[in-house]
Amino acid sequence: MSGSNKLSFTWAAGLGLAAMLAAPTQAQYVFDGSKVRVNMSNSLVMLSQQISAAACNAKVGMDATAAREELKAARSDFRLILDGLANGAPALGIPTEETSPRVLRSLASVEEIWAEVDQALETASQSQDGDAMTQVIRLSQEPLLDVTSILASDVLNGYSSPFEMTQRDALSLNFAGRQRMLGYQMSRSICGILGGLEDFGTPETLDEYASLFDISLMALKDGMPEAGVQPPPSNLVESMLTEASTQWSSVKPIVETAVDAGKASEDAASALNNFVSDTKLLMDNTVTLYMLANGDGGDVYKVALEEYARTEVPKWLDQPILIDALRAQNGKHATLTQAEVDELDLIWRAQMKEGGGELVSELVDRPLSDWFRERVDATAGLVVEIFATDNIGLNVGQSNVTGDYWQGDEAKYEQTIKYGQGTVHFSDMELDVENGVYQAQISAPVKDPETEEWIGVMIFSVNVQSLL
């Protein structure tokens, strides 16, 4: 994982699975996924408006292909998160099923409206049905927004605790979630203006959402004590909010022109849509840094990541597709010298500079790599990358193309099977520039179930935002 802006907290370089099973990191705290639940419920609110905006763009033909792909991804994420909040989903960082009667009632209300939205999405995807797409917009714009907002409030109230969810945490989540939601509401409004769909957007609604977005962003950037919002807790948070404010300053006149003229161009809609997408990443990272600025934030993050490694990661390590691939490559590479390994790594790097090549393509197209991509898609953004190495540190499968082919000189290999002999390694948290999110890696050793030998390492890049 390449990145910058490494944050200044670390923990033990490696933890054995057996040790993690024996005792929690903090005796006084049992991880229940509080911040994950709050973050995921807020994500449902945002997704309701993302769906309405993307559906509007698809209906009016505003970059329709991309809009339909966005709908497909948002639909999948909504399903995964809703099911995880109800039934528990260690793959999402939610360790147990919901038990609160109040939250369960709210979940049932969301499920009722979502069933209608989901059916309309299915109809629209199968037949390019314009009426079905209109139904998607109508249902997600208000009914789905209303029930997801109530759910988010109930989850926040039900899972607040002095240890994990402070008032600052709650306000940060709510304001950042508000920014993402308002962004998509602006996007849908300008789409409505562009397509003459007054039920979905007018100059008045665009002006309303833009004004609220402006006020909320300034509250995050400068603080708003009367609303309980403190100034940014660190220079890095301040710089991210300043960047968002700078981007907003360039887009705001475009929005104001559309409001004043009562009409919008495709260029104006495209500029706003791009801004909304970029701002979502900035708000996600801002939430992460707010959480880690809290005195207990880093500890909770460590507990969450270790809990994921304890409960979920072992389920991946004994899969036949992984074991068979490792056995095959270990046999193939059994006689490689270090010089030959170095040469393969150089070839890989050279092909990467050229945009790909035979070595890169062969690895990316393997069945194991396809399986990794499927598993990444099934985590609703929690795991953003998976790859595995053989017993000498050469990649054997990967969901994304990695910068290196050989990992044998890195801690993910050295502290798991070279020196660590079966320990799980946790990296420091870093900003992944390519994906724009804060990540940490879990590197877990893989054992051959027949020989009991360590035959490789499986590496998970985890989106820290999803754990906070």
Over residues 22-47, the pLDDT tens digits come to: 333 444 456 677 877 888 898 899 99
The answer to whether position 87 is within a domain reads yes
Tens of pLDDT along 160-196?
765 555 555 566 666 777 888 999 999 999 999 999 9
Mean pLDDT score across all residues of the chain: 85
Query: Cα separation of 406 and 399, whole Å?
Result: 16
Q: Look at residue 434 in the predicted model and tell me its pLDDT.
A: 66
Residue 112 has pLDDT above 70, yes or no: yes
pLDDT band at 279 (very low <50, low <70, confident <90, very high): confident
The domain boundary residue, chosen from 250, 268, 296: 296
Number of Cβ within a 10 Å radius of residue 298: 18
Q: Look at residue 224 in the predicted model and tell me its pLDDT.
A: 81
Average pLDDT of span 425-443? 80
Q: Which of 118-127, 203-212, 240-249 has the highest average model confidence (pLDDT)?
A: 203-212
Query: Cα separation of 290 and 229, whole Å?
Result: 11
Amino acid 117 reads V
Bridge partners of residue 445, in order along the sequence: 457
Backbone angles phi, psi at 148, to 5 degrees: -70, -35
The domain boundary residue, chosen from 253, 269, 296: 296
Query: Does residue 224 share a domain with residue 325?
Result: no
CA distances from 94 to 81, 83, 268, 378 (A): 10, 10, 39, 14
The answer to whether position 375 is within a domain reads yes
Residue 61 has pLDDT above 60, yes or no: yes
Query: Does residue 276 share a domain with residue 320?
Result: no
Q: Look at residue 268 in the predicted model and tell me its pLDDT.
A: 95
The answer to whether position 27 is within a domain reads no
Average pLDDT of span 9-20? 33
The answer to whether position 10 is within a domain reads no
Query: Cα separation of 115 and 79, whole Å?
Result: 10
The answer to whether position 364 is within a domain reads yes
435 CB burial (10 A radius; 0-12, 13-18, 19+):
middle
Q: Look at residue 366 in the predicted model and tell me its pLDDT.
A: 96
Query: Does residue 318 share a domain with residue 170?
Result: no
Q: Which residue has the tokens 């039934």?
A: 87
Average pLDDT of span 432-444? 79
The answer to whether position 5 is within a domain reads no
- Helix ranges, 262-317 (H): 266-293, 297-311
The domain of 397 spans: 312-467
Choice between 405 and 431, residue whose per-residue pLDDT is larger? 405
Tens of pLDDT along 122-136?
999 887 768 999 999
* Closest to 287 in 3D by CA, of 4, 28, 32, 46: 46
Q: Which pair of structure tokens corresponds to residue 313?
A: 């990661």
Query: Cα separation of 78 and 63, whole Å?
Result: 22
The domain boundary residue, chosen from 245, 261, 296: 296
The answer to whether position 84 is within a domain reads yes
- Indicate the number of domains in the chain: 2
Backbone angles phi, psi at 233, to 5 degrees: -80, -10
Query: Does residue 447 share a domain with residue 364?
Result: yes
Q: Are the C-beta atoms of residues 381 and 466 closer than 8 Å to each other?
A: yes
- C-alpha angle 372-376-382 in degrees, rounded to nearest 5: 145
Query: Does residue 276 share a domain with residue 355?
Result: no
Bridge partners of residue 437, in order along the sequence: 432
Query: Does residue 201 share a domain with residue 322?
Result: no
Radius of gyration of the chain (CA): 23
Q: Look at residue 166 in the predicted model and tell me its pLDDT.
A: 58
Query: Cα separation of 370 and 383, whole Å?
Result: 15
The answer to whether position 452 is within a domain reads yes
Average pLDDT of span 248-252? 96
Amino acid 47 reads L
- CATH of residue 397: 3.30.450.20
Average pLDDT of span 63-91? 92
Cβ contacts of 110-117, under 8 Å, gap ≥ 24: 110/44, 110/82, 110/144, 110/147, 110/148, 110/151, 111/82, 111/86, 112/147, 113/139, 113/143, 113/144, 113/147, 114/78, 114/82, 114/144, 117/51, 117/144
Going through 304-400 in order, the beta strands assigned E by DSSP cover: 383-389, 395-398
Q: Look at residue 341 in the predicted model and tell me its pLDDT.
A: 95
Query: Does residue 336 share a domain with residue 438?
Result: yes
